[in-house]
Amino acid sequence: MTESHTAIAEKPRAGTAASIGWAVLILATLYACYFRHLGVIGFAGPDEPRYAWIARDMGETGDWVTPRLYGNPWFEKPPLFYWGAAVCFRLFGVSETAARLPSAISALLATLALAWLVWRLYGAEAARWLLLLLPTSVGMIGFSHAAATDMPFTGMLTIAMVAAAVVLGLTRDENTPVLPRTPWLALVLFGFFLGLAILAKGPAAILLSGGAVFFWALFTQRWRDAFRLFHPLAIVTLSATALPWYLLCARRNPDFFRIFIIEHNFKRFLTAEFQHIQPFWFYLPVLLVAFLPWTFLLLCSAFGSSRNVWRRREISPSGCFLLCWAGFCVLFFTVSRSKLPGYVLPAVPAIAALLARDLSRRLEQGLRNASWACGEVALAFVAMGVAAELQGRKIPFVTDIYPAPTVVQFYALMFLAGIAIATLAVLRRAQIALVIAAIALPAFLIFGMGNFWELDGGVSARPAALGALNHLTKADLDKATDYKLKRGLGFGLNFYLHRELRQWTPDNPQHPIIFTSVASSKELETLGARCESEIAYAAVITCEVSQGEPSLMRGVPGSGEPK
């Protein structure tokens, strides 16, 4: 009798210990994947420094209505990201970490909201795996570390879709309390977060959510449930959230609707004017890369689920909702003439929810399915290790540290993780193997990125700009120019130097400092400039010229001979 009582007492303790372990693991994963090393690399690409400039300008001028780039109205995107970054600048100072914090917070909120939905639909086990699979995917890690509008848009739209699922009645079942006929809170949340999504990227939020719900209603024939989303409470909340800024901005800027709605929405979708032309299959490899290291698991899950649906000729309403959510998003942007990787990001949470459900079922079904899952994940880690090792051979185009310690650590960790996962699968420790797979990337983000600064000078203008600020006078910086730099590096210099640099031309050589690329610096050196950099493979080189150096007026391609 005593032994029986002891066994009963030990079970709750074991369950409590397991719950605490899962909670610690999930919290550490969320922190490492979304918030660790936000500022380790300077602003890269053309979008990050531009958006950060606009946010800093809002905080400095107090004009929270009209986004301005270099003093001119800039209507490419709505203001939600700018507002968030400007607030973070005021709270934490102007830095890359503060600029990227809105994206990290959006990723966290989207993950938590989706985990709640998965818990209500498929149980605690699927929710736990969702909290490990989604944050550790390459796409979520990358976009949560970007000072751009993609993750705020995805985060707000995801929460809106979770609220829509409640309104549609998908969270009702025999094991949960019956929801009220009119879920008031869900309607308010749906309208509010859909309004925030419209403020994050524009009217596409309405099209994506509306298209997904339309096809869900078409396939399930639950039109009455779908029309609940048109409840006046949701419409009023949506309008109160999104319309004030649009109306106020249009009142202050008469050309706002023409530039934003016509040019940056309709023309971007219907024409190739913005030069982001890609083949129709573009988003397939984008999604496969976004789900690393879970790509092979995703492919096998998609194949198995499709086969089961074909055999049974039926699908659950919740599964149909997630499929319509992801599928319509991919289809919508596939039809678009303008394609960028971040456009399809809103489909990733829904796909991750389906993947978490499938993985939890495979673990419940027994050893064979679990072993296959572990083998698929182990294969992905080995492939990532091989790819990193091959890329490491080319790393001198970024840094003069060879082989780069960060790259070495990454492919070594990927190889070891793949071997450990495969070994544990053979030893019938599938759950432990998958946990190791889930913590491999977070472990690298925590412990393996201490030397990531070594890549900064090869991808960002930050080192060159900080060097100039430390060694040049204000008069020299006021006269500084750039020459044949990539757009992203030019925008980065402008942000860090807090001024808009002009393009250097041979017709006006009275500038002592020219920022240029390695290739162009060779050209300027032949014309008499002195160029130098602290690292061998810098993205931006600083060149110094004498006042009125006559040789710089000759021999520049396209300049012609001076008269």
Secondary structure of residue 69 in the 3-state scheme: strand
pLDDT at 150 > cutoff 90? yes
Strand ranges, E, within 56-107: 68-69, 72-73
Nearest to 128 by CA among 141, 120, 119: 119
Please check whether residue 377 is in contact with residue 296, taking contact to mean a CB–CB distance below 8 angstroms: yes
Please check whether residue 229 is in contact with residue 162, taking contact to mean a CB–CB distance below 8 angstroms: no
pLDDT at 12 > cutoff 70? no
Q: Which residues contact 91 (CB under 8 A, 6 or more apart)?
A: 98
Q: Which of 85-89, 177-181, 295-299 has the highest average model confidence (pLDDT)?
A: 85-89
pLDDT at 506 > cutoff 90? no
Alpha helices in 313-429 (DSSP H): 317-335, 347-365, 367-392, 405-426
Helical (H) or strand (E) element with 100? helix 96-122
pLDDT for 372 equals: 63
Domain ranges of the chain: 102-365, 368-453, 461-553
Alpha helices in 123-231 (DSSP H): 124-133, 138-144, 150-167, 184-201, 204-220, 223-226
pLDDT at 359 > cutoff 90? no
The CA distance from 382 to 387, in Å, is: 9
CA distances in angstroms from 503 to 380, 479, 513, 561, listed in the order given: 45, 11, 12, 19
The CA distance from 362 to 297, in Å, is: 11
Residue pLDDT, tens place only, 247-288? 999 999 988 888 887 776 766 665 665 556 778 888 999 999
Residue with tokens 């003093």: 71
pLDDT at 8 > cutoff 50? no
The CA distance from 428 to 271, in Å, is: 54
The CA distance from 256 to 247, in Å, is: 10
Beta bridge partners of 406: none
The CA distance from 432 to 548, in Å, is: 69
Q: Which tokens go with 136?
A: 């550790």
pLDDT at 563 > cutoff 50? no
The CA distance from 238 to 229, in Å, is: 11
pLDDT at 491 > cutoff 50? yes
Q: Which of 224-233, 243-252, 273-282, 436-445 has the lowest mean pLDDT?
A: 273-282
Alpha-carbon dihedral of residues 36, 429, 414, 130, nearest 10 degrees?
A: -40
Pairing mode of beta strands 502-503, 481-483: parallel
pLDDT at 385 > cutoff 80? no
pLDDT at 561 > cutoff 90? no
pLDDT for 20 equals: 87
Q: Which of 309-313, 391-395, 452-456 has the lowest mean pLDDT?
A: 391-395
Q: For all residues of the chain together, what is the average pLDDT?
A: 83
pLDDT for 207 equals: 94
Amino acid identity at 528: G
CA distances in angstroms from 139 to 11, 142, 218, 341, listed in the order given: 39, 5, 30, 9
pLDDT range class, residue 551, cuts 50, 70, 90: very low
Q: Which residue has the higher pLDDT, 520 or 223?
A: 223
Global pTM value: 0.88
Q: Which of 85-94, 343-352, 495-504 has the lowest mean pLDDT?
A: 495-504
Q: What is the 3-state secondary structure (H, E, C) of 8-20?
A: HHHHHHHHHHHHH
CA distances in angstroms from 381 to 27, 272, 404, 418, listed in the order given: 23, 37, 20, 5
Beta bridge partners of 531: 543
Pairing mode of beta strands 68-69, 72-73: antiparallel
Q: Which tokens go with 313?
A: 């000729």
Averaged pLDDT, 316-333? 94
Beta bridge partners of 503: 482
Q: Which tokens go with 495?
A: 């942000």
The CA distance from 387 to 323, in Å, is: 31
The CA distance from 178 to 163, in Å, is: 16
Question: Long-range contacts: 503-509, Cβ < 8 Å, 24+?
Answer: 505/559, 506/552, 506/553, 506/554, 506/556, 506/559, 507/553, 507/559, 509/545, 509/548, 509/549, 509/552, 509/553
The CA distance from 179 to 177, in Å, is: 6
Q: Which residue has the higher pLDDT, 434 or 151?
A: 151
pLDDT for 477 equals: 86
Amino acid identity at 472: L
Averaged pLDDT, 17-23? 83
Q: What is the CA radius of gyration of the chain?
A: 26
Averaged pLDDT, 443-467? 78
Beta bridge partners of 462: none
pLDDT range class, residue 550, cuts 50, 70, 90: very low
Please check whether residue 55 is in contact with residue 86, taking contact to mean a CB–CB distance below 8 angstroms: yes
Amino acid identity at 254: P
CA distances in angstroms from 461 to 156, 271, 393, listed in the order given: 31, 32, 23
Q: Which of 76-85, 108-117, 371-380 has the lowest mean pLDDT?
A: 371-380
Secondary structure of residue 31 in the 3-state scheme: helix
pLDDT at 98 > cutoff 50? yes
